[in-house]
Structure 1
């Protein structure tokens, strides 16, 4: 059962941009996210839906404190039962269906915005491009333990560097090919977002899924400004759990493979060449994790290993000689 901002209230909202913020047990971080929202300077109205997924720490109270100070901007939605554990990842879609906002922006509770003009920059860029449905910016990486900024999030490799140099307008294949983009900078056309198909059970349905489907809808925009901070291995994040739980990490890889398969079916293999390299990369990790040599033809496995570097080529050779050793190495975070 949800408490707080209702669907009926959403129907009367005049916001042009609706910000979606999901949080769970993030009392250390959520204040930064909320301060980033209220600091935005825009010439249009916006609202923030902050979804607390039945936190057991002080997160709900922090949200309520901000809600009482900024009632026109911050709208809390409070769960009595954790929805993520029930597989309800897209709690916000029913709000989007009732909303009249032109655009949706994302920022999870452990990330935050550092540019007070972030929303305005993305709003202006999208408004000037009729064929554009998706916009991202660059972001800064922060070590969650030390609080130290450790560089820009993009580009992550030479392929990303080449793609981003062709910006700010990116075609579908280029946007899909970016390896890891900042979720905290997602800014999209609301109607296009709602057309995204539901992923099948067992397929990853998070940020990478949104990236693929939004990119496939038309031209995307990349702004090079660093408007947000992405915390690396923040407490309670999925990535942090993958680093300590082998089974969770394997399950995550399998979900990505299912996502890529579903996306190819949905798009009738229109982007199969782009997607295959990412799918093969995930399958290669499964090969290392499970000590299996037969999940990919050797030429495709070698191509995937080569894209990741010489260390992974060596692992692939070892896999055919001593698969048990490769599995142990992978468990030590090599893979």
Structure 2
């Protein structure tokens, strides 16, 4: 597979996903395209057999599945954004598609449709779609990530300051965006937000209102699950401080072009950490009414339930989730 023939690079970051990695890789390989694509898999020194499965696929699909298997865990050494450090530099495609090893694609036409749109609209720097939520275990969650109710263009200000998150497994963007990574990407504690900021700084987005991928919720060892262990409030506070710094760095890097959007996005992050840690005085503070109204009806219901009847809420939650 020659470098110049590769149109798309699928970026897959995995760690201890032995129960999920086959489904992810198979969903990549089922893609029907009129162009060549590659699958870049970064395994962060898994200890559960994930690495062996990846090597099996590499042997079966040489040149198509291109793994980088670490001997030492890089995340534990302070490298938050594995994709930017290890996968983006070796991507040969014109476009990069994101999907962690515990998520997967649903539509065999996903790559083709997103590439077709970006090829026809060269100023589009982020192409996304809705995603089905695949729940592992029990949790109180929505059934899908659907930030908008119809296919539409997303202005850059809205990519920055959005009321609902975008599924990582839906994201596709031109590889040129990540040839040189700014400080706000490198310093950010999560990988999807700085990619979205990069896209906003260089163009606009497009949303396809169709669930062409799945996002697993509740996977042991995932960033979200690990974040809830130990000193949760301390972790949430640290997360907000780092995200606030990310938005400030972005604001400076873009010369204040998106100052209002960046400021609002940082404030929304603060509000969501208050929701996560159940700081009800802040949740119901009139200053954050805009962000409260953005919460789903289900989330608002459970917040009111817990605030007014904490004992009954605790019993109901334990009966449903076991926690």
What is the TM-score when the length of structure 2 is the normalising length? 0.80
More displaced stretch, 243-252 vs 71-80:
243-252
Q: Partner of 1:87 in structure 2?
A: 78
- The answer to whether residue 40 in structure 2 is matched with residue 54 in structure 1 is no
Q: Partner of 1:274 in structure 2?
A: 261
Q: Of 8, 15, 25, which aligns to 1:17?
A: 8
Q: Partner of 1:222 in structure 2?
A: 207
Q: Partner of 2:321 in structure 1?
A: none
Q: Cα RMSD (Å) of the superposition?
A: 3.4
Q: Take 1:94 and 1:56, find their aligned partners in 2: how far apart are those partners?
A: 19
Q: Partner of 2:172 in structure 1?
A: 187
Q: Take 2:71 and 2:118, find their aligned partners in 1: how far apart are those partners?
A: 37
Q: Partner of 2:217 in structure 1?
A: 232
Q: Take 1:86 and 1:271, find their aligned partners in 2: how far apart are those partners?
A: 33
Q: How does 1:1-335 map to 2 (within 5 A)?
A: 12=3, 14-88=5-79, 89-93=81-85, 96-97=88-89, 99-145=91-137, 151-155=143-147, 160-161=148-149, 165=150, 167-176=151-160, 177-199=162-184, 203-245=188-230, 246=232, 247-285=234-272, 300-305=287-292, 307-308=294-295
1:140 partner SS: strand
Is there any run of 5+ residues in structure 1 with no aligned partner, and where? 1-9, 319-324
The Cα offsets for residues 209-254 of structure 1, whole Å up to 9 and x where unpaired, read as 2112212211212111211100012111111122333133332232
Return closer, same or farther for 1:128/1:237 CA change in 2, 3 Å cut-off: same
Query: How many angstroms does 1:57 deviate by?
Result: 0.8
Q: Partner of 1:7 in structure 2?
A: none
Q: Which runs of 4+ in 1 moved over 6 A?
A: 290-293, 309-315
Aligned residues: 300
More displaced stretch, 257-266 vs 305-314:
305-314
Q: Is the 8 A contact 2:98 2:169 kept in 1?
A: yes
Q: Is the 8 A contact 2:185 2:195 kept in 1?
A: no
Is there any run of 5+ residues in structure 2 with no aligned partner, and where? 318-323
Q: Is the 8 A contact 1:199 1:205 kept in 2?
A: no
Q: Take 1:94 and 1:266, find their aligned partners in 2: how far apart are those partners?
A: 24
More displaced stretch, 87-96 vs 20-29:
87-96
Return closer, same or farther for 1:292/1:145 CA change in 2, 3 Å cut-off: closer
1:199 partner SS: helix
Return closer, same or farther for 1:178/1:18 CA change in 2, 3 Å cut-off: farther
What is the TM-score when the length of structure 1 is the normalising length? 0.77
Q: Is the 8 A contact 2:42 2:87 kept in 1?
A: no
Q: Is the 8 A contact 2:185 2:194 kept in 1?
A: no
Query: How many angstroms does 1:185 deviate by?
Result: 1.5
